[in-house]
Amino acid sequence: MPSFFDAWLPFIYLYGVGGIFFFSGIIIIKKSGAINLSKKRNKFWLRVMLFGFFYFVALHFLVNIAALYF
Amino acid sequence: MGQETFHNIGTSTDWIVMVAYFMVIMLFGSYFGKYNRSTKDFFFGGRRFAWWLIAFSIVATGVGSHSFVKYSAKAFEHGFSSTMTYINDWFFIPFFFFGWLPIIVYSKIRSIPEYFEKRFSPSARFLATMLLLLYMIGYIGIGFLTLGKAALPLLPENMSILGMHFDVTLMGVITVIAIITGIYITFGGQTAVIFTDLMQGFILLFAGLLLFALGLSYLGGFDIFWDLLPTSWKMPLAKFNEPSSFNFVGIFWQDGVAGSIGFLFLNMGLIMRFMATKSVNEGRKAAAFNVLFMLPISAIVVGNAGWIGKAISLVQPDVVPPNTSPDQIFVVVANIVSSPGVFGFIMAALTAALMSTVDTLINATAAIYINDVHRPIKVWLKKYDEDARSEDKHELASARVASMIITTLGVLAVLVFRDFPTVYEAHGFFHSTLTPPLVVAVFLGIFWRKFTPAAVITSFVGGVALMILGANFPGLLIAPFDHGIRMDTAHPYSYIRALYNLVVCSGVAIIATLTTTGQRKIVSNIKANDNSKYIMYFITALATLIFVGFVFSSSFITLDSESIPEIIVMLLAVFLMSALVAISTTYFIKYDQREKTTGLTAWSIAKAKEMFKGSKVNDEEGEKVKVNWKRKDTDKDLVFFSKNDMAKMKANTGDLVYISDARKWLGGLKSTHSTFGEPHEEDGIVYLPEEHIKQGQFLEDRYLLAEKEM
């Protein structure tokens, strides 16, 4: 069984540092007006972007669990 | 224990299948050459395709560039984590969807360096062109190297043709492949590439998944395969900081950050695909579908041969020796688990996918050459033909010649990468080294309005100098960023150097921007002097001399990579040079921040859209309308609908319209863009000028579908 350092640190680092980039992006496009949330289409894309982030978190988490315990 | 290499894998049936496959692909690509009526079509496919068509055509490009060979190699050595880079591209999607993608479409740029001219200055464009050409040609070189490594195990060690006896070498194989690749890209163009890639995307996914199924069947089922692999091999992410040849943190910065931004923001091949979609929204759909669904599937497709190879090597080491050359494992496993003919099909799909990547890159590099070298030089020499059609014909011919020259340079670039232990490490080193200056420049250009031409040029020059210093003094300069990764003296910090390079390029860019007021004060003091021009010439010459000294420093000085005094002197020289470059560019470049940022940064996307249209944007959402078409004798770029049809589309005269053949499965192949002219009274009819009928290749008895764009 890999140590916690090998099993979970890459996961935490990936979504910690990657998350900083991702949410900075969301904040910047919102602040700059590049995404206008009063438009239906832009609201849809904001939901897609957030879904995508958590979709990959879940994907990595599940494969990690499968590798460690199954 | 040395690595075991293979030759002569496959049967004559496999070769027949492979040759037949390639002939079909080349004929298929050549057919779509007829859709190239201008350089716009040759390079961009005429901005007309539906998202699904582009999404699938990107698969072959993406999978080809992140190839079967390199991921299978790492999969054989390290397991599932080999393909972790396929699942880390989402972090920069917000910046791409609502920053870069609308800017490249609405600003109507034809290449990335053109953006640098519009946003900064012609000199920034020149430097960006040089760096981008290096990046693209290097990428082509990596593609050819991979192709050669995939083909080599299929061939004998030597052969005789017409009584001449010669050895089959990697470079020889690559040269032959380059000739075949060059033929259809030269005569096909972007539409040919998109459609060939579309077909290959499907076949590639099928071939990769077929190989996985055959491999599992060979081993006796999924459960046996799963239980055979050790736990560490099933982890989706690599170990944090070891070994130096494959570790999570280094690869995160090299691929997840520099690579992802490079791929989404700088890969002209990919960007041209997005520019070929009919609208920004379709581009977003194509990118989202690709990253969310196609890349995870592709991760299985490209890595599974290595996983299967590892499992077989554990139970049958005589069939797959554990010391098999990693770069050959894909071919070896495919041959073991599939029957003759099927193996030929899988190999054809693999090599064709790699060719897709390479031909996309060649087409894109030719676009950069025409837009950023050929055309500016002709304008400068005053030889630019004012007759647009005649000039376009000349440019199309030059684009084809450029494609051939670029193919040759790509083959030569292989020489730089062939000594790395695997293609994966060569690609990692390439990405870490070439992308950071461009990544930082384009990123800050889009999202930071205060970023000036002086800052971008200083970050190019100063950043590159610091990167060279890092390469010469890795133990002193890159080590503080290494996250505990051990330095391999043969190839020091192949991946984590990306972090160092990003930090130094960003650092120079930020300092140069924040000191803009100081630079302007110094420049105004110099301007007050009678000899201001001579002072500036001296400053520029001195900065150039120091930069040239850095580039060639390791060639004419023996550097002690552990010497702290040496590094201090070098760092002071970089600081001085960067200051001189910043002052020099502030003096020579006229820059109006408002003019140069309007419509070209994320802060003015609405304005960019308005500039694209040429008038106020009409965002009201209307319906699509199905119409018949009739010819109208006019040279104007206008199409004419009935009042009622325009009301359904919520369109006004002067709005932009997209018209396509109503058969959706064509994905926009037969389509055109235009502007609404004055309405008439005949419902269900659109009057089109001859040029639009030819552009859209519309057929007399076929309905068209029209929608208002903006």
Residues B581 and B663 placed together within one structural domain of the fold: no
Residues B294 and B205 placed together within one structural domain of the fold: yes
Residue B601 β-bridge partners: none
B20 contact partners, CB below 8 Å, separation of at least 6: none
**Euclidean distance between CA atoms B83 and B69, whole angstroms:** 12
The answer to whether position B633 is within a domain reads yes
pLDDT, position B391: 72
The answer to whether position B5 is within a domain reads no
Q: Which of B360, B390, B417 is the last residue of a domain?
A: B417
Residues B564 and B462 placed together within one structural domain of the fold: yes
Residue where the block lists tokens 């950069």: B368
Residues B248 and B381 placed together within one structural domain of the fold: yes
Q: Which of B252-266, B337-351, B521-535, B694-708 has the highest mean pLDDT?
A: B521-535
The answer to whether position B613 is within a domain reads no
Domain containing residue B288: CATH number:
1.20.1730.10
Give the A:B interface size as CB pairs under 8 Å: 119
pLDDT, position B5: 72
Q: Where are the alpha helices (DSSP H) in chain A?
A: 4-7, 9-31, 40-69
Using CB atoms, pick whichever of A25, A45, A56 lies closest to residue B92.
A25
| Inter-residue contact B202 to B66 (CB < 8 Å) | no
pLDDT at B40 over 60: no
Identify the band that residue B171 occupies on the pLDDT scale cut at 50, 70 and 90.
confident
Identify the band that residue B167 occupies on the pLDDT scale cut at 50, 70 and 90.
confident
Residues B131 and B279 placed together within one structural domain of the fold: yes
Provide the token pair at B652. Answer: 């006004």
- In tens, the pLDDT along B109-155 reads 878 888 999 999 999 998 889 888 888 888 888 888 888 887 888 88
Identify the band that residue B248 occupies on the pLDDT scale cut at 50, 70 and 90.
very high
Residues B22 and B121 placed together within one structural domain of the fold: yes
- Nearest-by-CA chain B residue for A69: B231
| Inter-residue contact B149 to B328 (CB < 8 Å) | yes
Residues B104 and B205 placed together within one structural domain of the fold: yes
Provide the token pair at B6. Answer: 């293979």
Residues B392 and B468 placed together within one structural domain of the fold: no
**Euclidean distance between CA atoms B428 and B415, whole angstroms:** 16
Put simply, the answer to whether A7 touches B235 (Cβ < 8 Å) is yes
- The mean pLDDT of chain B is 86
Residue where the block lists tokens 């940064």: B601
Residues B583 and B624 placed together within one structural domain of the fold: no
Residues B130 and B174 placed together within one structural domain of the fold: yes
Q: Where are the alpha helices (DSSP H) in B557-604?
A: 564-588, 593-597
pLDDT, position B3: 67
Q: Quick one: average pLDDT of B643-658?
A: 91
| Phi–psi pair at B446, nearest 5 degrees | -75, -40
Q: Where are the alpha helices (DSSP H) in B189-258?
A: 190-219, 222-228, 231-234, 248-251
Residues B138 and B100 placed together within one structural domain of the fold: yes
Range of the domain at B692: 618-708
The answer to whether position B477 is within a domain reads yes
Q: Which of B574, B590, B606 is the last residue of a domain?
A: B590
Neighbours of B609 (CB within 10 A): 18
Residue where the block lists tokens 């033909």: B385
The answer to whether position B562 is within a domain reads yes
pLDDT, position B501: 94
Provide the token pair at B338. Answer: 């599939």
Using CB atoms, pick whichever of A14, A66, A70 lies closest to residue B88.
A14
DSSP class of residue B674 equals E
Q: Which of B394, B417, B440 is the last residue of a domain?
A: B417
Which chain B residues touch A53 with a CB distance below 8 Å? 90-91
Put simply, the answer to whether B80 touches A25 (Cβ < 8 Å) is no
Report CA-CA distances (Å) from B148 to B350, B354, B422, B552. 12, 10, 13, 31
Domain containing residue B659: CATH number:
2.40.40.20
Give the count of domains, chain B: 3
The answer to whether position B606 is within a domain reads no
The interface predicted TM-score of the complex, written ipTM, equals 0.97
B39 contact partners, CB below 8 Å, separation of at least 6: B370, B392, B395, B396, B399
| Inter-residue contact A19 to A53 (CB < 8 Å) | yes
Put simply, the answer to whether B606 touches A1 (Cβ < 8 Å) is no
| Inter-residue contact B367 to B43 (CB < 8 Å) | yes
| Inter-residue contact B241 to B364 (CB < 8 Å) | no
**Euclidean distance between CA atoms B310 and B305, whole angstroms:** 9
Higher local confidence (pLDDT), B46 or B380? B380
- In tens, the pLDDT along B550-592 reads 888 766 777 777 788 888 988 999 999 999 999 999 999 988 8
pLDDT, position A32: 93
Using CB atoms, pick whichever of A10, A19, A21 lies closest to residue B248.
A10
Put simply, the answer to whether A34 touches B99 (Cβ < 8 Å) is yes
**N- to C-terminal Cα separation, chain B:** 65
| Inter-residue contact B366 to B402 (CB < 8 Å) | yes
The angle, 0 to 180 degrees and rounded to 10, between the axes of the packed helices B453-472 and B564-588 is 160
The answer to whether position B446 is within a domain reads no
User: Which helix (H) or strand (E) element contains residue B38?
Assistant: none
Q: Return the percent helix, strand and coil in chain B, to nearest 5.
A: 70, 5, 25
Residues B192 and B330 placed together within one structural domain of the fold: yes
pLDDT at B1 over 70: no
